[in-house]
Structure 1
């Protein structure tokens, strides 16, 4: 059966949700407002359901539009990927594997891995999808990305994982900080300290559960900054302290812009893994091959994911 809607309708829904106005959405799509209004009425007529309601000169999405927007994101992403794949094929690339790293946008390790990848396989290119770092697992399930490098142990339907490396958490501070000479810090050491974090959602086996709660000692929240690289800059300027993964801090530590201390005397080590769709975890699949080579490369002493 022929679908009632086509790509133009999906793009329309997405644009109106993003802008909230017919005129602004028309500018985004490069059409006239009257043409876009006609296209919207046509979509609602075909579906026999309203997609938007007008409220204070803005269009408010209905549940139907909200659902179709999710579908549009996936369909348009797949189409964009297919177009990019075709263009790359003309340069000898048969497969493009899209990858993102949870939370962090530090990709100093990437050139080394790509060089390693090229020595082991041909026709596979890596595309970094930095915009997916906020929720990479959903990105994998929605096919926005193929591999998510994430921390912790992942057990979720439809996903599989390969272990990559274990990495310690570090309590970081400015070189002039009063705790800068400590080899490790306990919860009581940092009680009341200005603390910058990229999320206030407690995670098991991290600083909330193993540093703050055991001694009932908590820092003073200074800010929530979603970009860890920005946190490093704030810490280096002595505007607060933080706890981040060691592997992503090596450049700043070597440059002595910040100093790091082990989190608790025993230390907190976090496992990192490559997560991909279960259906892609088959032999000879390009996505699986890249994940396996990434795991092999991470085990090498000179890989960018080896910290201390």
Structure 2
């Protein structure tokens, strides 16, 4: 049986990809270039494949190196988090729950919830994983996070959810906009409007399916911006309009940098929930305990995240 790669080889692959040179990678890892070259040859012998080719004094990675780099990033990241967990345990933390919010990076609600959590459950620490907001459900399945706060309906094998609150969608615009002052807007109102969205993928319970499609009236898709907070700033500057979750725009509304109108006369309320792995859905599991406490906190605060 051939000897396997160890963490030194994974760090080597990652460092060479980041720097492109043996000398720079060696300096980054704190070893000599000759030692690093020997380690690279050893890794290639163990894999029986070439990881890098030399082109004009730089190393160009092969497909094998690209694949190993993905594996190395995941393993080294998991190891780093494990080390951090152990250090936290020494500080009285028995469990770290990693949490992300779908699409949004507004965490004004977080301090109040952390205080509530600490008053109800000792030994649990929250770690916000903002990088997982783009595809939080996949991040849960890959065990990169433990809880995802998401909107809408999701039915994915292996995942379960705890309801949190319902939140209205708002059509947002600059204060000088022709529709400012409207209590609600309908599809006909925004035909031809410059519209900024964070996704053009139709979702069955949001504005695309419930505002635009029923009347076959659509705005002018001006740009796609994946960060809702950036959308708010663009709207405030008069560069377009958008539809966003009510809880995430409260600060900008209160500062009067934007104004909002209900979407359709009936309104579109979107359910928000805490999604976690089904295997964690037991009263003894800290992940489930945090999800339940989050639901309790939302209920006590009457309107979920809208209170902060």
Q: Do both share a fold (TM > 0.5)?
A: yes
**Which runs of 5 or more structure 1 residues have no equivalent in the other structure?**
none
Residue in structure 1 matched with residue 48 of structure 2 by the alignment: 48
After TM superposition, list the pairs within 5 Å mapping 1:144-163 onto structure 2: 144-163=144-163
Write the distance in 1 (CA, Å) between the matches of 2:221 and 2:23. Answer: 42
After TM superposition, list the pairs within 5 Å mapping 1:255-270 onto structure 2: 255-270=255-270
Which is worse superposed, 99-108 or 213-222? 213-222
Residues 77, 144 of structure 1: 8 Å contact kept: no
Deviations 1:77-135, CA, capped at 9 Å, x for gaps: 22112211122122211111111111111000001101111111111111111111112
Is 1:118 the counterpart of 2:87 in the alignment?
no
Which is worse superposed, 25-34 or 284-293? 25-34
Residue in structure 2 matched with residue 14 of structure 1 by the alignment: 14
Which is worse superposed, 133-142 or 298-307? 298-307
Deviations 1:14-73, CA, capped at 9 Å, x for gaps: 3444555555544554445554443232212101123345678552441x4444334333
TM-score normalised by L of structure 1: 0.90
After TM superposition, list the pairs within 5 Å mapping 1:104-183 onto structure 2: 104-183=104-183
CA distance change for structure 1 residues 58 and 191 in 2, over 3 Å: closer, same or farther?
A: farther
Write the distance in 2 (CA, Å) between the matches of 1:28 and 1:136. Answer: 32
Write the distance in 2 (CA, Å) between the matches of 1:73 and 1:158. Answer: 25
**Which runs of 5 or more structure 2 residues have no equivalent in the other structure?**
none
Write the distance in 2 (CA, Å) between the matches of 1:271 and 1:2. Answer: 53
TM-score normalised by L of structure 2: 0.90
Structure 1 position 179, deviation (Å): 0.5
Residues 184, 265 of structure 2: 8 Å contact kept: yes
SS of the equivalent of 2:305 reads: coil
Structure 1 position 306, deviation (Å): 3.7
Write the distance in 1 (CA, Å) between the matches of 2:136 and 2:2. Answer: 33
Write the distance in 2 (CA, Å) between the matches of 1:266 and 1:138. Answer: 33
Residue in structure 2 matched with residue 227 of structure 1 by the alignment: 227
Write the distance in 2 (CA, Å) between the matches of 1:160 and 1:19. Answer: 42
The alignment's C-alpha RMSD in Å is: 2.4
Count of residues in correspondence between the two structures:
307
Residue in structure 2 matched with residue 281 of structure 1 by the alignment: 281
Which is worse superposed, 232-241 or 192-201? 192-201
Is 1:293 the counterpart of 2:293 in the alignment?
yes
